[in-house]
Structure 1
Amino acid sequence: MNDYSIIISSLLDNDFYKFTMQNAVIKLFPLAKAKYEFINRGRHSFPKNFAQILKENLDKMAHLKLSNEERIYLEKYCPYLDSSYLDFLNKYQYNPKEVNILQKGKNIRMYIEGLWSRTILWEVPLMAIISELYYRLTESKKISEQKITNITKEKLKIYKKLQVKIGEYGTRRRYSYQVQKWVLKTLTKKGNPFFIGSSNVHLSHIFSIKPIGTQGHEWIMFHAAKYGFNIADRIAMENWLNIYNGNLGIALSDTYTSPIFFKNFNKRLSTLFKGVRHDSGDPIFFAQETIKHYKKFKINPIRKKIIFSDNLDPYKVAYISSFCKKKINTCFGIGTNFTNDVGAPSMKIVIKMVKTLPEEKKKWISVVKLSNVKEKSTGKKNMIFFAKKNLHI
């Protein structure tokens, strides 16, 4: 079993937006608590002893610490993460007691609970471990570096021909750490000037590139629990501006559906944020609405950008980019199609915040994400109903 037990070897093997959100949480909501849950959307069957092997991996993660070299890298490439946060990260260690894993037959249940500022880092590495272990235990494919390099080069040819900016966002559902590393090796060698970076901080460090990302849905879901659904987007954006002063200025648009987001995205915020991220629903309709929104405020859309990040492949990128050309700037965050395109079916798994306890509240509050498509919504049915009613959706 030991050869399964060191999948995550660096504290930075995680998505960048987890660190940017953690920094903001420490500064604004240091006593808030969070609960997360594993959701097996694809109804995958897990092999015998899977939970046990997973736990062995988590126990190994307790020993991970930020190295001096990693801290120097963050200081150089992420200057908006201040020294007080880097001091916190220096002392940070994963606590496996925050994670509870149960296996019943072929089903896995998993819950994470603790201070939000601590538990926020679990989601991405946990998903990466689950994904890699699942393939190691259920697939017998021999994957070579040459094969991965060739597949990545072929995609790069298409993206270069389209002249689109692309980023790699594939940590959480990667086939393996090694596959992601090979993909990034090819992208950094052959991708200029179209490849703009990776969301994985550890691999960005290895290849001396800047990590990319801003915030995730949980940032806005927490604000809804604390301030209400109607103004969650706006206050989440205001708080983000207060922490980052215009850096990392991409707003996430679909936590409570895009129409609600645009209502909150007032002229000031539309001016100060560099653009928006699309993560669900029809991308062309979203692009049209975004352009219309900017024009309403007499903002030239060509000075703004949309980052598309919803289950992309070269065909979708070609379709979206041809529509947006000369109307609004685009960038494409490509995940599973880069890091898990080896012939095995990709996993449909997520880990989502399900409850939060803002410091001034007396009891846990269930959180929901509505998204632009029903299947991407998360949360308890009664809370989803309540949120929709509240927002008149």
Structure 2
Amino acid sequence: MHKIINSLLETDLYKFSMGQAIYHHFPGYETTWSFKCRNEDVHFTEEMVEEIKHQIKMYCELRFSEEELKYLSSIQWFKKSYIDFLRLWHPRYEDFTFGTNSPCGLTIETNGTWLNTSMYEIPTLAIVNEVYFRMKYDYDKLMLSFKDRLDKKVEKLVSGEYNIGVFSEFGIRRRLSAEAQELAIKELMRDDYKGSKFVGTSNVYLAKKLNIKPVGTMAHEWIMCVGQGNHKHNPAYSNWYALDAWVKEYGVLNGTALTDTITTDCFLRDFKLTYATLFSGVRHDSGSPFEWGDKMIDHYNSLGIDPKTKTLLFSDSLNFEKADEINSYFKDKVKVAFGIGTYIANDTDVDALNIVMKTTACNGMDVAKISDVEGKGMCKNPDYVHYLRRTIAWRMEH
């Protein structure tokens, strides 16, 4: 099979945003990441597992070019010290452990510094996806169905049937293939939409190649590791520690806060006037988007901040129809934007994989995400999840 990942830029922008903050503030943190396939009917064959290992080995041979580093340095918030670090940085195959002892037939774990292991998540998931779909199905037929569905959804944006305002493509981790993702972005890069505007992609490599905006700020790992990786911290204050470190690194730049790592209600206890002012907006990733959005608008109003000056970024399992509903509901109340992934990058006649790679330990201690809904978290130790829930409940009640 051809090489799937061809550049170290071929990852989400927020990996670099978090990477710089990790480099400057938490360079000694160590993390463990674990792969999980949530589909119950998916099985990776031995041949697939070997191909995945081969692809990751080739990924680990990549290095940044000076042209790529020059591109990163053109992004306003990246500093020369971090660019110099990336000049020396490369993935280490020794950080990966592979196995077959799981219901889906594939286990992947990475261990090492947070600086390293954080960077492996997105390329690994992109490789697993593309290997699976190319080896399991007739890929050419899948691409035909992908193109057909893409044409139809773009037609609905052009006609104005869907009016979704500002949106970006977030699909690299679950894309059908690199070819499919690039095709989708090229199709979306048009200026004849009536009520929608495509503004960029989280894939830095394609943003550079196609001369569009790279987008992305922070992920759950930031709040989990900053808030729970220091054993002296009370994890119910994870958001405060994470927001504080982010502001120290970026000030008012690059500020979209993720709310649901240990529940949005707990997040709002720490998202007071200073942070709510400094951050340009917040991102939704679980639970009812309408209830969440209303809650955020009420919170901004309670602080004396005009919600219309802030952006609500929605990114939870979206399609154009859902985005249209959300955009219509919040119109004239607040700025709205969408990050849409699988629906753009892997919409075919076959169901997409629901695969994740999550931080499961930091500095030798369990870490966990307590989402706004059941089923989105991942932790190897149920006792730790119980402890985390108790600390959150104690804080909320007292």
TM-score (norm 2): 0.92
Find the counterpart in structure 1 of residue 32 from structure 2: 35
Find the counterpart in structure 2 of residue 280 from structure 1: 286
- Shift, 1:25, TM fit: 0.3
Instruction: Count residues with an aligned counterpart.
Output: 383
- 1:15-164 matched pairs, under 5 angstroms: 15-43=12-40, 44-76=42-74, 78-104=75-101, 107-142=105-140, 143-144=143-144, 147=148, 150-151=151-152, 153-157=154-158, 161-162=162-163, 164=165
Determine the C-alpha separation between the residues in 2 that align with 1:191 and 1:325: 21
SS of the equivalent of 1:31 reads coil
- Shift, 1:198, TM fit: 0.3
Does the 8 A contact of 1:308 with 1:332 survive in 2?
A: yes
Find the counterpart in structure 2 of residue 360 from structure 1: none
Determine the C-alpha separation between the residues in 1 that align with 2:185 and 2:316: 20
- 1:367-386 matched pairs, under 5 angstroms: 367-379=367-379, 380-386=381-387
Residues 243/158 of structure 1: CA separation in 2 closer, same or farther (3 Å cut): farther
- 1:276-315 matched pairs, under 5 angstroms: 276-315=282-321
- 1:357-376 matched pairs, under 5 angstroms: 357=363, 364-376=364-376
Does the 8 A contact of 2:308 with 2:334 survive in 1?
A: yes
Determine the C-alpha separation between the residues in 2 that align with 1:333 and 1:248: 16
1:102-138 deviation per Cα after TM superposition (whole angstroms, max 9, x unaligned): 1248511111000111111000010000011110111
Residues 112/167 of structure 1: CA separation in 2 closer, same or farther (3 Å cut): same
Match of 1:8 among 2, 5, 9: 5
Determine the C-alpha separation between the residues in 1 that align with 2:152 and 2:63: 34
Residues 25/287 of structure 1: CA separation in 2 closer, same or farther (3 Å cut): same
SS of the equivalent of 1:14 reads coil
> Which letter maps to 1:153?
V
1:328-368 deviation per Cα after TM superposition (whole angstroms, max 9, x unaligned): 110010000000012210111100000011xxxxxx11000
1:274-301 deviation per Cα after TM superposition (whole angstroms, max 9, x unaligned): 1100000000000110011011111111
Determine the C-alpha separation between the residues in 1 that align with 2:45 and 2:190: 38
1:321 aligns with 2:319: no
Does the 8 A contact of 2:191 with 2:197 survive in 1?
A: no
- Shift, 1:271, TM fit: 1.0
SS of the equivalent of 2:218 reads coil
> Which letter maps to 2:125?
M
1:271 aligns with 2:277: yes
Determine the C-alpha separation between the residues in 2 that align with 1:21 and 1:348: 24
Residues 63/41 of structure 1: CA separation in 2 closer, same or farther (3 Å cut): same
Residue range with higher mean Cα deviation, 246-255 or 148-157: 148-157
* Structure 1 unaligned residues grouped into runs of 5+: 358-363
Residues 340/155 of structure 1: CA separation in 2 closer, same or farther (3 Å cut): farther
> Which letter maps to 2:251?
N
Residues 251/66 of structure 1: CA separation in 2 closer, same or farther (3 Å cut): same
Does the 8 A contact of 1:188 with 1:207 survive in 2?
A: no
SS of the equivalent of 1:337 reads helix
Find the counterpart in structure 2 of residue 179 from structure 1: 180
- 1:334-349 matched pairs, under 5 angstroms: 334-349=340-355
- Shift, 1:141, TM fit: 4.1
- Shift, 1:212, TM fit: 0.3
Find the counterpart in structure 2 of residue 244 from structure 1: 250
- 1:212-223 matched pairs, under 5 angstroms: 212-223=215-226
Does the 8 A contact of 1:47 with 1:138 survive in 2?
A: no
- Shift, 1:161, TM fit: 5.0
1:388 aligns with 2:389: yes
- Shift, 1:154, TM fit: 2.6
Determine the C-alpha separation between the residues in 2 that align with 1:67 and 1:286: 42
Find the counterpart in structure 2 of residue 208 from structure 1: 211
Residues 161/348 of structure 1: CA separation in 2 closer, same or farther (3 Å cut): closer
Determine the C-alpha separation between the residues in 1 that align with 2:191 and 2:100: 43
SS of the equivalent of 2:17 reads helix
Quote the sequence identity (%): 31
Does the 8 A contact of 2:32 with 2:362 survive in 1?
A: yes
- Shift, 1:146, TM fit: 5.3
- Shift, 1:48, TM fit: 2.7
